[in-house]
Homo-oligomer: A and B are copies of this chain.
Amino acid sequence: MADSLVVARDLAREFAVDAVERDRRGGTPKRERDRLRQSGLLRLMIPTALGGLGAGWPETLHVVRILASADSSIAHVFGFQHLMVATTRLFGTEAQWTRAWTETARGDLFWGNALNPLDERVRSRSVDGGRIFSGGKSFCSGARDSDRLIVSARQEGEARLLIAAIPTARAGVVIRDDWDNMGQRQTDSGSVDFEDVRVEEDELLLSPGPLSTPFSALRPCIAQLTLANVFLGVGQGALAAAAQYTRAQPKPWIASTAASATADPYVLHHYGELSLGLQAAELLAERAAEALQAAWTTGEALTAEARGAVALAVAATKAQATRAALDVTQRLFDVTGARATKAQAGFDRYWRNVRTLTLHDPVDYKLRELGDAYLNGALPTPSFYS
């Protein structure tokens, strides 16, 4: 097993201890974020030549699953760390991403997200040698307590969304503590206000820029696959927790013909169906991660067809992981029973987390893409969600 997986498992065990309590509290998991910094995993996919651990996407996303099985908020911001790091590679110049990666590896920098392309309130205007960003941005996961930010803005007359990588400490960046949601409560997915923030020209990721080439259009694939691995990890963690609970049951339901809850025919059938759904999702996730890795390695030579194949593998993973994770987190109660609803057990957090995160974009439209590919041979049109 790769060292990273061992480290991830240790961290997962550690994070699990007070995951229920932290879910209730919400806010920034500062201690846990610092443990991630110390673990070295923030530089997991950065090449060893630049000071990283040199992992590929299959390993990186496996770590995401492991963390998600214990704490999906932390898994989310951890997964997005790599999405942000990858963004510099996909949208920026070699000089830009080499510098970003080297600094990240050296300082174990944590990246946050302030890119949300659907919220276009941040406006840019040109000034000498740079731009000024002003306005608010919502759903900025992991922005609090971050060292670097990927930010976006609209500038009049420019068709493409402007995307930049800047230090979080930059003057004018105001990160609100306003995330209070039913799930993913420690992701700090609240808002960031840009109060006349100066962005240097060489902080803008313009070449090739967002979604401009098949290769740069891998970003949404990475985003979607990261989230799908979080769903899947939650499902895996939830079913494992349920099994532990069932095994500790003193007796089966009074009408059962079985001698124990663990031998009840309906309980076994549920576990069979739920574990099967997770197995299928995991195989799809692994296939997609391998396809992504091959595309990532191909670099700018990536064709639209090959990028489309990755997007479809990711869409399939997302659809199955959504279904399996919702199914597990809803039905786990059918195999644990009424007492498993006590707040202290915290079993509802699995569902709240999955349900929140699976709404990032509608799974119906992923299924539509899969159908369009099957029926019409159509490739998904690259967008920030496809």
| Interfacial residues, chain A to chain B (CB-CB below 8 A) | 118, 139, 180-183, 239, 243, 246-247, 253-258, 262, 265-276, 279-281, 283-284, 287, 316, 319-320, 326, 330, 333-334, 337-338, 340-348, 351-352, 355-356, 359-376, 383, 385-386
A244 to chain B, nearest CB (A): 10
Q: How far is the CA of A269 from the CA of B264 in the complex (A)?
A: 13
Write out the residue numbers on chain B whose beta carbons fall within 8 Å of the beta carbon of A272.
319, 366-372, 374
Write out the residue numbers on chain B whose beta carbons fall within 8 Å of the beta carbon of A281.
280
Q: How many copies does the complex hold?
A: 4
Task: Establish whether residues B267 and A265, one from each chain, have CB atoms under 8 Å apart when the complex forms.
Answer: no
Given contacts A180-B343, A269-B266, A342-B180, contact A367 B316 (CB under 8 A): no
**What are 24 A-B contacts with C-beta separation under 8 Å?**
A118-B254, A182-B341, A182-B343, A253-B365, A255-B365, A255-B385, A257-B258, A268-B368, A271-B370, A271-B374, A271-B375, A273-B319, A276-B316, A276-B370, A280-B280, A280-B281, A280-B283, A330-B330, A330-B355, A333-B359, A334-B362, A334-B364, A337-B362, A341-B359
Write out the residue numbers on chain B whose beta carbons fall within 8 Å of the beta carbon of A368.
255, 265, 268-269, 272
Q: How far is the CA of A351 from the CA of B118 in the complex (A)?
A: 28
Write out the residue numbers on chain B whose beta carbons fall within 8 Å of the beta carbon of A373.
275
Write out the residue numbers on chain B whose beta carbons fall within 8 Å of the beta carbon of A139.
338
Task: Establish whether residues A359 and B371, one from each chain, have CB atoms under 8 Å apart when the complex forms.
Answer: no
Nearest B residue to A117 via CB reads B254
